[in-house]
């Protein structure tokens, strides 16, 4: 009898654990790329701007058939001096720029395979794919207003394709909502129809059997 009770308790516990809802935010959807040191995150916005200008002016100098103009040469020297005063290793950072850019790209593109089949809940902005009589059953969940239309689409791991359990009445484009459903991990492509044509959007996640609630109702 005790063994039967213990088995039933284990079964119930396992079911509860598997049904646990994960509360996620957008950074949680980024895949786990091997940890790497990104020295550019240690720079201020002004230092990043200065580094960008130095890189541009040096590129002009190195690819040009003629020396930099007097004004450009003076600007380059001034910006390099400013960074040197802050003890910034200009040459070292520029040498790592392509490597860091590639690592950032990998992190932005990769997904979290461990979320596959999990029940998740997260906020975002609703971008309808198709509206019928003012309601949608399929839409994109995106992290910011304007994504995919007024700005370039986010990377695939920052877009969720949502299949709602019940039709949702659309109040506005990019309506803030909470969604809860079963996550499927894997790249899919959806056509987004715009005023000036159509665009294919690459998506890293799908949310099925989804419950949608207004964002303000959850505050």
Coil, strand or helix at 203: strand
The answer to whether residues 30 and 110 touch, using CB atoms and an 8 Å cutoff, is: yes
> Which of 59-63, 76-80, 122-126 has the least mean pLDDT?
59-63
pLDDT tens-digit readout, 160-190: 999 999 999 988 888 999 999 999 998 888 8
Most confident of 6-10, 28-32, 106-110: 28-32
| pLDDT for position 129 | 85
DSSP string, 185-201: EEEEEEEEEETTEEEEE
| pLDDT for position 4 | 35
Helix (H) or strand (E) run with residue 140 in it: strand 135-142
Q: How many CB atoms lie within 10 A of CB 135?
A: 14
CA count, 13 A, side-chain hemisphere, 153: 21
| pLDDT for position 171 | 85
The answer to whether the pTM exceeds 0.85 is: no
């Amino acid at each position: 009898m005790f063994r039967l009770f213990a088995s039933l308790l284990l079964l119930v516990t396992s079911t509860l654990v598997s049904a646990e809802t994960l509360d996620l935010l957008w950074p949680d959807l980024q895949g786990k790329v091997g940890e790497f040191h990104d020295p550019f995150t240690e720079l201020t916005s002004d230092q990043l701007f200065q580094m960008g200008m130095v890189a541009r002016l040096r590129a002009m100098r190195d690819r040009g058939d003629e020396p930099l103009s007097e004004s450009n040469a003076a600007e380059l020297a001034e910006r390099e001096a400013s960074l040197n005063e802050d003890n910034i290793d200009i040459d070292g950072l520029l040498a790592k720029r392509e490597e860091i850019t590639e690592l950032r790209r990998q992190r932005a593109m990769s997904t979290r395979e461990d979320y596959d089949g999990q029940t998740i809940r997260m906020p975002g902005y609703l971008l309808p794919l198709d509206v019928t009589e003012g309601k949608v059953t399929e839409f994109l969940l995106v992290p910011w207003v304007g994504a995919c239309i007024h700005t370039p689409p986010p990377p695939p791991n920052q877009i969720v394709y949502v299949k709602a359990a019940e039709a949702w009445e659309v109040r506005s484009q990019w309506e803030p909502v909470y969604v809860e459903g079963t996550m499927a991990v894997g790249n899919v492509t959806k056509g987004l129809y715009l005023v000036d044509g159509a665009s294919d959007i690459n998506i890293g996640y799908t949310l099925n059997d989804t419950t949608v609630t207004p964002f303000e109702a959850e505050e």
